[in-house]
Structure 1
Amino acid sequence: MNPHVHKPSMGVLNLQHGQRKFDLARHLPSPDLQPFVKHFWIVSWDLAPNETFTQELVPNPCINLIVERGRTAISGVAKQKSAHALEGRGFIFGAKFKPGGFYPFVQWPVSQITSQSIHPTDVLGIDAEFLEAVIFAQPNVDSIIKYTESILRFKLPEPDSIVAQLQPWMERIEHDREITKVEHICEFTGLHQRALQRLFNQYIGVHPKWVIKLYRIQNAAETLDYNHYHDLASLSTELGYYDQSHFSRDFKSIVGITPEEYVKQQYSKKAPSSSQ
């Protein structure tokens, strides 16, 4: 394996440091679920007694079914960084839906659960406690995925042509740094701004402007994690920002600190301590 190739963080802040404390694995769904589900993921850890570790996440425009002891839920798209404390030994399992891939299951605007969570019973007809009991009783990840896929298949809708149409659009927004305005999305989709906003409200859960912002900040954080840019002005330009101050404001609005503070924080995490 090329040592310079890193695992995409997909919003997991400072993944290099975090993987010293936990293991993150992602698994593709079966073909019949691929129109809806991006991947299954599992985070597992085994920390020393009395040790805790907090992992931070930058949101992306996807809805997740998350199975965690006492906190199982379907989580809508968030607009700000979240933090999760790990201790002892355990794992968390999730199914990440593709952007727009959750809508066919519910047929109501997914913006209704933006920055919120709902009970899995409301969508999948299965109690959270029962789901936890079954998932945590499985002998391995393959069994967990097989069971989760059976639950999704029980409620599996027909493939939605709009979801299929959304996927290349979302990939272009994520990777094309020339896309900095909603008008740019309108140009390549052929949709008027109001129609685009209605579509994103219904299928994605956030305004197109927020999708641009979320992907840019996710890209910025991952770049800072792996490259430690000293020239943040150049980075802001590469990300499609016209000036560094705009980039800093967007970064802080989601991550909670400025890019400069974030870089310092990463260096402090990597600096050797006297206890090591």
Structure 2
Amino acid sequence: MEPWVENYWQLRWDLPSDISYRSSTLPHPACTLSVEHGWTREGVVEPVVVTGVLTRRFDVVLAESGWVFGVKFRPGGYASFTGTVARNLRDVSVAPPTPFRAETVAALAELGGHLNADHCRTVVDSVLAPYARDVEPEYRTVLGIITTMLRDRTLVRVAQVEQRCAIGTRRLQRLFERYVGATPKWVLGRYRIHDAVSELDNGYSGPLADLAARYGWFDQAHFTREFTELVGMPPSAYQP
């Protein structure tokens, strides 16, 4: 599963009946396969769920008790692994996930909080292994572009990415629609917002206009608007 999966994660909670907790996650250009038992998020009625790329902050209220085991695919990984088109999953959750046979979904649904994370990972890898296919060259191209976007913080325009990766505009857009489910501009912007959040987390106390310009926002008001939409508060309130 290594060519397609970025990581596995597990979440467990048990709250008093009069207490709830809002969990918020910044959007990433990745699809997630999850097994969810106990308290479930709104709109989810089956335990095995695939959630496509979310273009907004992921907010969920946790209450009572519950357990989730998740498989976070690499950007483009779920589309490559299943042969699906990522844009069809943008901002939606599908349960049960249609590419998988009923017996696969049933085996995943049997996972639960009584099992440790390593055992769950072993089961997931085992039941998904029959779906593995050859890694297509176009997916490898997408991974290379994503890695370049993520690691090079000086890239703040899609045109820079195209030049660095020697790829045309139309082909880049087509690959991202097929594999990632979001536009190159959106992905690049989210990575740079994440970089700005990381700088603030690490104690950045300089002018916010300088921080915005460093990551491609020459209009501080635009930066503040996007930051607030994703993080839930303006950078001035987030800044230490």
Same-fold call, TM cutoff 0.5: yes
Given that residues 157 and 216 in structure 2 are in contact (C-alpha distance below 8 angstroms), is that contact kept between their aligned partners in structure 1?
no
User: Is the 8 Å Cα contact of residues 35 and 109 (structure 2) preserved in structure 1?
Assistant: no
* 127 and 223 in structure 1: CA distance in 2 versus 1, 3 angstrom threshold: farther
Residue 43 of structure 1 is matched in structure 2 by 11
- 1:81 maps to what in 2? 57
Gaps of 5+ in 2: none
1:178 deviates by 1.6
Q: 2: distance between equivalents of 1:131 and 1:230?
A: 52
Per mean C-alpha deviation after superposition, the further-off stretch among 192-201 and 171-180 is 171-180
Does 1:102 pair with 2:78?
yes
Aligned 8 A contact 1:80 1:255 in 2: no
Superimposed CA distance per residue, residues 5-50 of structure 1 (whole angstroms, 9 cap, x where no aligned partner): xxxxxxxxxxxxxxxxxxxxxxxxxxxx111111111122344553
Give the residue type in structure 2 aligned to 1:130. Answer: A
Asked whether the 8 Å contact 2:32–2:70 carries over to 1, the reply is yes
Contact 2:26–2:56 (CA<8 Å) still a contact in 1? yes
| Structure 2 partner of 1:220 | 196
Partner of 1:140: 116
Paired with 1:256 and 1:196, the residues of 2 have a C-alpha distance of 31
Partner in structure 1 of residue 153 of structure 2? 177
Find the aligned partners of 1:188 and 1:52 in 2 and give their Cα distance: 47
Q: Is the 8 Å Cα contact of residues 138 and 144 (structure 1) preserved in structure 2?
A: no
Q: Give the C-alpha shift of residue 129 in structure 1.
A: 7.6
Q: CA deviation at 1:157?
A: 1.6
Paired residue type of 2:225 = R
Output one character per residue of 1:54-94: Cα deviation in whole Å (capped at 9) or x when no partner: 11111110111021125331011011112122234432111
Read off the aligned partner of 2:177 and give its amino acid letter.
N
- For 1:50 and 1:129, how far apart are their aligned partners in 2? 33
Secondary structure of the residue aligned to 2:98 is helix
Instruction: Normalising by structure 2, report the TM-score.
Output: 0.85
Judged with a 3 Å threshold, the aligned counterparts in structure 2 of structure 1 residues 109 and 139 are, in CA distance, closer, same or farther, namely closer
Structure 1 SS opposite 2:167: coil
Q: CA offset at residue 226 of structure 1?
A: 4.1
> What's the counterpart of residue 220 of structure 2?
244
Mapped to 1, the partners of 2:217 and 2:55 lie a distance apart of 19
* 2:23 counterpart residue number: 55
Show CA shifts across 1:205-236 (max 9, x none): 11100011111222223333342645322322
In structure 1, what residue type is equivalent to 2:75?
Answer: P
Note if contact 1:67-1:132 (Cα within 8 Å) is conserved in structure 2.
yes
- Contact 1:236–1:244 (CA under 8 A) maintained in structure 2: yes
**Contact 2:79/2:86 (<8 A) preserved:** yes
SS at match of 1:122: coil
Looking at structure 1, the residues matched to 162 and 109 of structure 2 have their Cα atoms a distance apart, in angstroms, of 46
Please tell me whether the aligned partners of residues 47 and 89 of structure 1 are also in contact (alpha carbons under 8 angstroms): yes
Alignment of 1:117 onto 2:85: no
What is the distance in 1 between the residues matched to 2:66 and 2:202? Answer: 27
* C-alpha contact 2:138 2:175 (8 A) present in aligned 1: no
Residue 27 of structure 1 corresponds to none
Q: Does 1:160 align with 2:128?
A: no
**Among 34, 59, 62, the residue aligned to 2:2:** 34
Give the 3-state SS of the residue equivalent to 2:156 in structure 1.
Answer: coil
Distance 1:46 1:226 in 2: 31
Distance verdict in 2 for CA 1:148–1:126, change over 3 Å: farther
Distance 2:206 2:104 in 1: 46
Aligned residues: 232
Partner of 1:68: 36
**How far has the Cα of 1:163 moved from its partner?**
2.1
